[in-house]
Chains A and B, each alone.
Chain A
Amino acid sequence: MLLSRSAQSEVGLTHQRTVGPSTEDLGDVALACKGDGLAFERLYRRHVARIRGLACRMAGVAAADELTQDAFVRAWEKIRTFRGESRFGTWLHRLAVNVILEDRRGLARRRVFQDDAATAAENASVEPADTVFSIDFEAAVARLPDGARHVFVLHDIEGYKHHEIAALAGITVGTSKGQLHRARMILRKHLATGAAGCTADGSLA
């Protein structure tokens, strides 16, 4: 049976997906804590693609660059709080999740004052199955409702557990599970619709 990632973790397999080098990071973190900007730039270079990938999926490509920069600025400000209890990449990743979710919450508050129609369009769920034949899986993820997308990205793509997501996003574990279920139910329609165009390796044509 194919186990989801959280099920894998329960049997001792991987948890959060790889977050980059650790041994190289330790020396640069120590230097960056003393204010060494060059060391921090090296950390940035090693991890920027990972953080931008997270930002792309959580907030969309348009906001990804700015959020990536925000995350590294926050990391510089907070780097002295890194205790080495986890990999630096893991610490940075969680910090970036916080930065992104904070930004999204702020955006949601601002949207209260925006035009309802525009807001509804931005939040639109994936279109009905018969009109999305050409939308690939990545695009389908991007079009999930915000809450469902955030939980799906963190759980099924990034490998966080529900209790971790709940703590990061300020929601209950039950809400996290509900949003994940909602996302999977929406996304399975895309796979079912695209099945006729599947290639031999299972990817959508």
Chain B
Amino acid sequence: MNRENTRVERGSGGDPWADRLSEYLDGDLPAGERLEVEEHLSGCAACSAVLQEMREVVARASRMRLDSEPTRDLWPGVSVRLRRPLRLAPWRLSGASPLRWAVPRLAAAAVLVACCAALVWVLGGRLRPASTAPPVASAPVAAPAPLVQADREYETTVAELRRAVHARLTLDPHVVEVLEKNLATLDLAMADYQDALSREPGDAQLRSRLVEARDRKLELLRRAATLTESSN
């Protein structure tokens, strides 16, 4: 028995019986080997005892609690790291009246303001002393202009600013990523506003929101272009 115990204690060190006990327990052995092990077990008290102890280990493991509630809320630490921009109210998919989306629209606008403010803060903080970076929240918003007349000028300006930013691109890649994601968020919002306006052309609030989003985008691009110039 002692000799058998010694062999078992070596574990996977080469003992032909001990090394197979886990597989035997799990039903992983081929039929022939399984019979061999059972034959051995019938005459070896030590291996039988080890097997019984292994069964107890497995049983104990199966009774262990799986859940472990955090002692603090981990969600804030998760949410701040979610990079993919949140999609805005999908009224264009639903076919419902834009009025139904009044609340989400306002929430989306708040998110946009926060995005822009955060990005400008990041840009300012990385590329120039924070004290010299004017807060975007206080930036004046241009008075709404007739959309149709402004479209061409707006697109031209955006294209020029984008070229200016990319031509002198010396920004931190992470900042560029944040910039692009925020621009994408604004584009998505503007597409939603335009879609809603096509159905509700008289909605002054929608027009105002669209102009505001365009201004935000222009401000963001102007800011990025200015900072790339100042960092060169």
Contacts and interface: CB of A to CB of B under 8 A. Distances in A.
Given A3-B27, A191-B60, A181 B19 contact: yes
Contacts of B50: 185, 188
Interface in A164-193: 177-178, 180-182, 184-185, 187-188, 191-192
Contacts of B26: 4, 6-7
A138 B57 contact: no
A37 B86 contact: yes
A72 B28 CA distance: 34
A154 to B, nearest CB: 11
Contacts of B64: 137-138, 141, 157
B56 interface: yes
Given A34-B87, A177-B22, A53 B78 contact: no
A69 B80 CA distance: 11
Query: Which interface class (under 10, 10 to 19, 20 to 34, 35 or more) fits B?
Result: 35 or more
Interface of A is mostly: helix
B65 interface: yes
B27 to A, nearest CB: 4
Interface string A128-171: 00000000011001000000000010001110001000000000
B53 A188 contact: yes
B102 to A, nearest CB: 18
Given A5-B62, A73-B81, 5 more contacts: A44-B78, A48-B69, A52-B74, A65-B74, A184-B57
10 interchain residue pairs of minimum CB distance: A35-B87, A7-B27, A188-B53, A156-B61, A53-B68, A49-B67, A181-B22, A185-B11, A35-B86, A4-B58
